[in-house]
């Protein structure tokens, strides 16, 4: 039973809709032009009649007025869904009419070489080997540790990047919370590459690595990531079992002790935003939280990399209240460019409790950000490899800018 069936309270919202569909799946973009009530009814009806995979936001419970909604349905349901939309006066657009084709087209990198490559999506085995290699080849700057193991027993690697020194402050950045957001691990790898290859030549990078230690966690939800390569490309959660349910997995970004499961998260194990049986119920989130708690005295900033929608979010997401240094965060988020939307999570997108950004902030890490990388919905999670480089380059600029802020360095 998906959460949409229970949603009677949404009858008065006014969403702007965008639909993702068809295996082959269809991907739609839609806009309401009619009465709110009809639209929402249509929405709930579609949601409860057909299997829907929400892409953005992740569940119907996170839909709020004026929000665009992306989702995917199976190909054989698409004509029914379309006629429903049409009858209800919902304007829509199909963005992907055959998701399989687009998923195949993800691998459009013109790099032909096999093995690890920064402009390709690397599978876990390749990334794991890369973490060892990059540390071995740059012993003066990079070291690798293990902060725990995943539900299925895979080691969770953490890279420490920086010139050794005493009393250094640190920055923590993780990637790969959500399995299907492939551009995220690609960015963590890119960042490490840039660090080791521009240290000594790029003034800012040199300054950063001399003054700070960067903890880079390339993939947190490794089990989920592996599953997206081997079984189901659109998997989001961890792969842990749930007692009393045959559904698998917990949303790692609803599993932290920050207003845990109070809003924008589901208590049902079958849902994509399932908050888990308790805060830090997942071995992966527990390992991350333990590491940060242990290193709280040095960690000054926390960055967590997701996709998609091109946004830079900061606390809070579990409440509409804004953090005490809101103005400072707005400044940090606003100076680096215009391509991204930014603001507090709750007011910019939706209430979603249990996120690592809010948790880190409440631990005292005052510079806490969630990046939502490319794109804004053309490809969504199926972002082609040819966009890895531009995405990482623009994100690197932003990240360096934030890291360079006086607040953090001084």
Candidates 274, 255, 236, 243; CA nearest to 357 is 255
Distance in angstroms (rounded) separating the CA atoms of residues 167 and 212: 9
Residue 107: φ, ψ to 5° = -85, 60
Binding status of residue 254 toward Zn ion by CB under 5 A: no
Binding mask 244-263 for ligand ARG (x = CB under 6 A): ---------x----------
Binding status of residue 374 toward ligand ARG by CB under 6 A: no
Distance in angstroms (rounded) separating the CA atoms of residues 355 and 368: 11
As measured in angstroms, the least distance from the Cβ of 404 to ligand ARG is 24
Interactions with Zn ion, residue window 165-184 (CB under 5 A) = 178, 181
Question: What tokens does 33 get?
Answer: 């032009």
Interactions with Zn ion, residue window 285-314 (CB under 5 A) = 306
Binding at 317: pick from Zn ion, ligand ARG, none (beta carbon under 5-8 Å per type) = ligand ARG
CB of 74 or CB of 251, closer to ligand ARG = 251
Distance in angstroms (rounded) separating the CA atoms of residues 216 and 150: 17
CB of 29 or CB of 273, closer to ligand ARG = 273
- Calculate the alpha carbon distances from 222 to 157, 185, 235 in Å: 10, 10, 12
CB of 189 or CB of 221, closer to ligand ARG = 221
CB of 90 or CB of 313, closer to ligand ARG = 313
Please give the positions annotated as active site.
372
Question: What tokens does 89 get?
Answer: 């006066």
Question: What tokens does 232 get?
Answer: 């189901």
Binding mask 126-165 for Zn ion (x = CB under 5 A): ----------------------------------------
Binding status of residue 271 toward ligand ARG by CB under 6 A: no
Q: How many CB atoms lie within 10 A of CB 137?
A: 10
Distance in angstroms (rounded) separating the CA atoms of residues 255 and 279: 5
Q: How many residues does the chain have?
A: 410
As measured in angstroms, the least distance from the Cβ of 306 to Zn ion is 3
Interactions with ligand ARG, residue window 346-365 (CB under 6 A) = 352, 355, 357-358
Rg of the chain over Cα atoms, rounded to whole angstroms, equals 21
Binding status of residue 313 toward ligand ARG by CB under 6 A: yes
Residue for token pair 């057909």: 50
As measured in angstroms, the least distance from the Cβ of 238 to Zn ion is 13
Contacts of 54 (CB under 8 A, 6+ apart): 60, 69, 70, 71, 272
Residues within the interface to Zn ion (CB under 5 A): 178, 181, 306
Residues within the interface to ligand ARG (CB under 6 A): 58, 253, 306, 313, 317, 345, 352, 355, 357-358, 370
């Amino acid at each position: 039973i998906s959460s949409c069936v229970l949603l009677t309270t949404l009858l008065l919202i006014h969403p702007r809709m965008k639909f993702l569909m068809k295996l082959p799946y269809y991907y739609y973009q839609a806009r309401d032009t009619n009465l709110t009530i009809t639209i929402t009814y249509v929405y709930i009806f579609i949601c409860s009649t057909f299997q829907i995979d929400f892409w953005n936001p992740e569940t119907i419970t996170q839909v709020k007025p004026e929000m665009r909604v992306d989702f995917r349905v199976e190909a054989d349901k698409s004509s029914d869904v379309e006629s429903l939309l049409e009858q209800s006066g919902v304007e829509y657009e199909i963005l992907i009419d055959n998701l399989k084709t687009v998923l195949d087209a993800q691998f459009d990198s013109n790099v032909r070489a096999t093995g690890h490559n920064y402009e390709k999506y690397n599978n876990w085995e390749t990334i794991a080997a890369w973490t060892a290699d990059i540390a071995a080849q740059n012993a003066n700057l990079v070291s690798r540790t293990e902060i725990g193991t995943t539900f299925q027993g895979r080691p969770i690697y953490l890279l420490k990047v920086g010139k050794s020194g005493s009393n250094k402050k640190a920055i923590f950045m993780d990637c790969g919370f959500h399995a299907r957001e492939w551009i995220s691990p690609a960015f963590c790898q890119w960042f490490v590459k840039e660090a080791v290859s521009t240290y000594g030549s790029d003034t800012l990078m040199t300054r950063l690595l001399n003054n700070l230690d960067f903890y880079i966690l390339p993939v947190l939800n490794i089990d989920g990531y592996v599953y997206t390569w081997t079984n189901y490309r659109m998997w989001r959660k961890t792969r842990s079992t749930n007692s009393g349910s045959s559904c698998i997995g917990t949303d790692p970004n609803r599993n932290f002790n920050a207003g845990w499961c109070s809003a924008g998260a589901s208590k049902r194990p079958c849902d994509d935003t399932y908050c888990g049986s308790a805060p830090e119920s997942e071995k992966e989130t527990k390992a991350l939280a333990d590491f940060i708690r242990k290193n709280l005295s040095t960690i000054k900033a926390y960055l967590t990399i997701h996709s998609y929608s091109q946004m830079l979010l900061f606390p809070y997401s579990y409440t509409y209240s804004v953090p005490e240094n809101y103005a400072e965060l707005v400044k940090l988020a606003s100076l680096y460019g215009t391509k991204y939307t930014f603001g507090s999570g709750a007011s910019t997108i939706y209430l979603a409790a249990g996120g690592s950004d809010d948790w880190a902030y409440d631990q005292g890490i005052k510079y806490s950000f969630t990046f939502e990388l490319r794109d804004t919905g053309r490809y969504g999670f199926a972002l082609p490899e040819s966009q890895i480089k531009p995405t990482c380059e623009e994100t690197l600029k932003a990240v360096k800018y934030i890291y360079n802020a006086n607040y953090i360095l001084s």
